[in-house]
Structure 1
Amino acid sequence: MKEKIMNSLQRFSKAMFIPVLILPIVGVLIAVSNIFTNVRLLELLPFLNHPFIQDFFAVLSKALVSILSNLGLIFCVGLTVGLAQKKRSEAGFTAVLSFLIFIYSMNKFMEIKDMLLKNIPLSGTGQTLVLGVQILDMGIFLGLMLGIVTAYIHNRFCEIEFNNALQIYGGSRFVFIVLIPVVVILSVCLTYLWPFVQHGILSLGQFINHSGGVGIFLYGMLERILIPTGLHHLVYTPFLYSPLGGVVEINGTVLEGARNIYYAEMADPTILHLSPTVIWDARGISKMFGLLGACLAMYQTAKPKNRAKVKAILVPAAFASLIAGVTEPIEFTFLFVAPILFIVHAMLSGLSMVVLNLLDIRAIGPNGIIDFLLFNLPLGIEKTDWPYYILVGLVFFVLYYLIFKFLIIKLNLKTLGRESSGQDTKLYSKNDYKEKQQKRTDHQPNDDIDAKLIVTLLGGPDNIENVDNCYTRLRLIIRDVAVVDEDNLKLQTGASAVIKKGNNVQVVYGLKINAVRRAVDAHLINIPTTN
């Protein structure tokens, strides 16, 4: 039962990554729009104050904000597609239909029961407009619930076919037929139940936001320590996009979630200081500064004869963490050889957020220095206190360096360059790629990716039930995990780690993961299987 629950949570977390992956792009483009319409920048560069430029970025910002205003629909479709086992495009289309049926059903039922509020602003009343339809304000939870329900029914009935005259009602059309009464009944039930759930969520959010440093520390630590399980998305997503991350009224509009509040406050020049809820998105200290200190400690504690090799491995990984916020290659480097370092890293990550909160620093850098520059510099020092964020980051760089160096030497931890004879711990380097190219027998779509070898080391195409990926990991459902060749996946294909949990296998490839996924998909399509 425990394994089934864990597998379900991992599938849910992996599916959530589809909509979550889009939202940072939205944030970056909103930040860019804010830069080009910033009053201070226009004073320095008056040529930007051209009607065409200003109108373009005003339209861009408004268009992107519409995504944040319809997160329920986005999560519904994204989660359905992610959880669908077959016919994903049809599942996504069905999700849109179920969402529309739900909001119009709830609206009509509330109208019949005279529950709709009239002639008053809806902000803060528990009701809102979704695609222009007035219903209970369920936020992303509506999308999560409908996504799960739609995906479950789709997976169960999408391959049912009928004969003769009823043939037209088979497959995805039968899924839609089943969904109609289910969604209508669900909308009626939630009309009565959701106000109680809503009250509970708001109360929990208020408790968490008033728990001070304890709550922030636990959030920051859990967001890191759950990385190996792939469940860390379940920690930060509710805080960024639901009332758990705060509820703030801006210009008569009630906004929920740290990320949504931040975007609104970023675009409003009359707000001089960002809300305390922004702290839930302040995950950049460990990424931009802390892990760089850890890399320096691992380099300096390596055996002198191995330092050149260790440097070649750590510099690209540290650069990826600094620039793009991709931390997993570094984290997995010491996770499997010295788990205590990973625990210390998670605790320091939580501590860094507590320090930012105590010093009232509202700058953020969730995905590396590029995000940091785009989000904070245009808002100015008064609004974000970004120079103090950098100062705190430098302090944590030193802390990481000193603590990691002390632990590595004191406990004689076998980090990079300190391995016993015959052992090798690596991320990925040019030597790995050269060795891999020499052993290749078939030309692959990507010159440095041997998809045939990867599939073979995973037990062959017949052993692979499902292939997916996130930022840095190839996520697979494997029939027989015992035949997965973990050592050679790392030695021959450039994987920095292989994680096994039940039938779920995650192979960490870092920033080249999209190319790996495409190569593996292309190879599996061209190989007949006995699935």
Structure 2
Amino acid sequence: VAIGYTANDGVSALAAIVGFVVFLASLGISSVLFFDLDPTSLKPIMGIPSLDTGVFGGLIMGCIAAYLFNRFFRIKLPQYLGFFAGKRFVPIITAFTAIAVGMLMSLIWPPIGGLIDYLAATAAEGGNVPITVAIYGFVERLLIPFGLHHVWNVPFFFQIGSFVDPITGETVTGDLNRFFAGDPTAGIIGGAYWFKMFGLPAAALAMWRCAKPQNRKQVGGIMISAALTSFLTGITEPVEFSFVFVAPVLFLLHAVLAGFADLLFVSLGGHMGFTFSHGFIDFFLFYNLGTRVWLILAFGPFFAALYYFSFRFVIKRFNLLTPGREEQAITGDVAAGLPKDAEAMSKELVLAFGGRSNIENLDACITRLRIGVKEMGKVNIARLKALGATGVLQVGNNAQAIFGPRSENLKTDMVEYLKTAGPEADEVVTPVPAESMTLAADQPQIAADPDAAEKAQHIVTALGGTHNIRAVDPVALTRLRVDVVDPAIVDDIALKAAGVNAMMKVQDQILHLVVGLYAEQYAGEINQHFKASV
């Protein structure tokens, strides 16, 4: 965790280890001194008597060490303390912070640990396993857009239940570890194979078929690739991020169906684990270890049909603007104009994130580029979309672009490019209309909207006037991203009357207005109103 957020700097790893050791000691001592805990109830961890926080303690100290490294690795101290300045200061401040964190955790961990123990007991004893996994599946999907599903997964993957490995004699915990140790009661979240191998690919097919005829070629290329990724590897984000923001009701439906899949699989006596995710590769490798694994193939077509027809019905019934259904959508080959080699692609990505001078750190997970930036306003979301991102999230000063399984390679290419890049990596990049990047050269350009000024005036009025608008930017080809002061005074009806096809609230004060291909022009007109009002 620590090196992942500090550009692989070894000092942060050392600080995390030092902090974790001090944290364990502080947690154990505080529990006994301040809360009269029986010392015999402490568990030796790395030889230190302490409360067992599982992987949570390591995650917490890893995050703290990373934060303190980024905050203090260049700190300057008085000359007589100069030896401890810079990176040497990080393990020291981490150790002192760990003392306080250990004392705090001695207060808040016992009830959290009790809740985890309850979940573990109910699942391991079989009393409420179907309900437990249904709740797990439902909540886990809802947390995907925020990247918090990893936290939710921890107790289920690594702490729930216990089993003595018959080969090593060691006690293992967690559904995954117990499954591979031979515990016949483990593998309780195998229902995800149904919606990852069959359900979401069928949902992608439904969105493809629901696209307007002139857009199906473009949408089909995106959806088929995303569907194959989900089926083979179990990576679902390329499909999910194609509809989570434009059609949240579909994502809620998906979460309900995911919970239902987990519930049904366990209720029918199925048990199946995984190592990476619930894709065909894991299914092929480990099917002989599971129980009633044939259920996955037998009910797969049922879940494919359930997802396809439910998605198709909801999209048509509520006229949801899934890919290819916008009032004005771009036609042509989505790959037209994309860079053909790794260096050119890396350059375009660097510029899309605001140039080398705007990038603070580069990182990637399985499906996302995670780029720390100095100014989020310099990130060109439309350009990232045109380069192949299926979604872009803004988390503080961290821009996360969804590129699927190639994200790690893209990050590596960007790192290598920046080592030798010249002044072109710091070019001042003005927002590029996304349509000019994705349309083939022989495609006719979209004509300007002659009524743009009037429509922009109506949109400003519906948003509560210029005093209620902090910023307006064109994003995702067909939308306006609006930062408002008070969302309560925004008039939805007036927005529709002004030509806005749909409004989505993505954060407390951030709205996305779907306006079609004239988004760039409308944003310019609205910004003119700002200048006129100053």
Q: How many residues align?
A: 416
Distance in 2 (CA, whole Å) between partners of 1:462 and 1:185 is 36
**Match in the other structure for 2:499:** none
Q: SS where residue 337 of structure 2 aligns?
A: helix
Decide which moves more: 225-234 or 396-405. Answer: 225-234
Name the residue aligned to 1:435.
337
Q: Is the 8 A contact 1:467 1:477 kept in 2?
A: yes
Contact 2:191 2:264 in 1 (8 A): no
Deviation readout 1:259-297 (Å, 9 max, x if unpaired): 2222222xxxxx5x333xx32464222110101211232
After superposition, the C-alpha distances for 1:29-62 in whole angstroms (9 at most, x for unaligned) are xxxxxxxxxxxxxxxxxxxxxxxxxxxxxxxxxx
Pair 1:201-2:82 in alignment: no
User: What is the 5 A alignment of 1:54-203?
Assistant: 78=1, 80-84=2-6, 88-101=9-22, 127-131=42-46, 135-162=50-77, 166-183=81-98, 198-203=113-118
Measure how far apart 1:331 and its partner are: 1.5
2:133 alignment partner in structure 1: 216
- Cα distance 1:346–1:425, how it changes in 2: closer, same or farther (>3 A)? farther
Deviation at 1:205, TM superposition (A): 4.2
Q: Kindly report the root-mean-square deviation, in angstroms, between the aligned alpha carbons of the 2 structures.
A: 3.7
Partner of 2:207: 298
Deviation at 1:300, TM superposition (A): 3.4
SS of corresponding position for 1:255: strand
Distance 1:313 1:107 in 2: 52
What is the Cα deviation at residue 390 of structure 1?
1.9
Once the two structures are TM-superposed, the CA of residue 396 in structure 1 deviates from its matched residue by 0.6
Partner of 1:517: 411
Say which SS state the counterpart of residue 399 (structure 2) adopts. strand
CA deviation string 1:296-339 (max 9, x = no partner): 32333344555444433322221111111121111122234433
Structure-1 separation of matches of 2:97 and 2:326: 58
Range with greater deviation from structure 2 (451-460 or 230-239): 451-460
1:235 and 2:152 correspond = yes
Secondary structure of 1:495's partner? coil
SS for the counterpart of 1:384 is coil
Partner Cα separation in structure 1 for residue 224 and residue 308 of structure 2:
15
The 5 Å alignment of 1:241-320 reads 241-242=158-159, 245-250=160-165, 253-265=170-182, 273-275=184-186, 278-280=187-189, 282-304=191-213, 306-320=215-229
SS in 1 for 2:15: helix
Q: Could you say which residue in structure 2 is the equivalent of 1:370?
A: 281
Distance 1:228 1:189 in 2: 30
The answer (yes or no) to whether the contact 2:353–2:378 under 8 Å persists in 1 is yes
TM-fit CA distance, 1:413: 3.4
Distance 2:311 2:256 in 1: 13
Matched, 1:459 2:354: yes
The C-alpha deviation readout for 1:67-113, integer Å capped at 9, x for no partner, is xxxxxxxxxxx3x22344x7732111222233345557888999999
Q: Is there any run of 5+ residues in structure 2 with no aligned partner, and where?
A: 428-534
1:399 equivalent to 2:310? Answer no
Matches within 5 A, 1:7-86: 78=1, 80-84=2-6
Counterparts in 2 of 1:357 and 1:425: CA distance versus 1, 3 Å: farther
Contact 1:498 / 1:508 at 8 angstroms: preserved in 2?
yes
Relative contact order, higher structure (CA 8 A, sep 6+): 1
Q: Quick one: distance in 2 between partners of 1:219 and 1:490?
A: 32
Does the 8 Å CA contact 1:218/1:350 hold for their aligned counterparts? yes
Q: More displaced, 253-262 or 476-485?
A: 476-485
TM-score (norm 2): 0.67
- Is the alpha carbon distance of 1:361 and 1:165 closer, same or farther for their aligned partners in structure 2, counting shifts above 3 Å? same
Contact 2:369–2:402 under 8 Å retained in 1:
yes
The separation in 2 between residues aligned to 1:248 and 1:171, in whole angstroms, is 46
Please report the TM-score for the alignment, with normalisation by the length of structure 1. 0.67
Contact 1:499-1:505 at 8 Å conserved across structures: yes
Residues 327 and 163 from structure 1, CA distance in 2 versus in 1: closer, same or farther, beyond 3 angstroms? same
Displacement, 1:454? 2.2
More helix by share: 1
Question: Does the CA-based 8 Å contact 1:294-1:404 persist in structure 2?
Answer: yes
Q: Which moved more, 1:212-221 or 1:281-290?
A: 212-221
1:470 and 2:365 matched? yes
Describe the superposition over 1:217-257 as per-residue Cα deviations: whole angstroms up to 9, x where unpaired.
23212212222222221221232122xx3344555644332
Which residue identity is paired with 1:175? V
State percent identity of aligned pairs: 32
Q: 1: distance between equivalents of 2:278 and 2:180?
A: 16
